[in-house]
Chains A and B, each alone.
Chain A
Amino acid sequence: DVKVTQSSRYLVKRTGEKVFLECVQDMDHENMFWYRQDPGLGLRLIYFSYDVKMKEKGDIPEGYSVSREKKERFSLILESASTNQTSMYLCASSPPDQPQHFGDGTRLSIL
């Protein structure tokens, strides 16, 4: 079974902090994705990566950056956290042209 592991289930940070969300997949997938999930808005794509050291902006990249130094790990970075970034963050991975497998999410609260 594919396993996508997000480092924290719950995280509380303060406004202005630099926040790192980590995601690791164990199936050697090329593609990795970061989404945020908000009620009534569905899943919105923040960034994705098709290969190591490659990244592409999604629909809502403002205020976020990503890092993919190794194939199995994809990090989401909030450079200076703000309250409107309080959300559920979901990581996913997939082989090319195959369904995405999701982690169980990190619920992030920015105070």
Chain B
Amino acid sequence: KAGVTQTPRYLIKTRGQQVTLSCSPISGHRSVSWYQQTPGQGLQFLFEYFSETQRNKGNFPGRFSGRQFSNSRSEMNVSTLELGDSALYLCASSSYRVTNTGELFFGEGSRLTVL
């Protein structure tokens, strides 16, 4: 069974640009969550999607947005990039609606560098 696939794995952008990251969950998983990982802050929750609907949102500015498609694939977008957005963005899928009922399966992440 294929794992969670995130693309691209690495990307470099400049301040003010926007970026779109993609996540393909494990087949059959309908819940997709996104986390931002930085050395100082650990894993911070961005948002969760289930059946194409955003179910939860973390404490991030409106520049961070996402969506989920009918095949459960998800994208996240960051507009007007800032230096502080440099991070590893992790996607996780789950077969359960709520993440506290089962395992999260993480992808290897997309490492974004903002110059």
A and B: bona fide binding partners: no
Q: Which B residues are closer than 8 A to A by beta carbons?
A: none
Q: Which A residues are closer than 8 A to B by beta carbons?
A: none
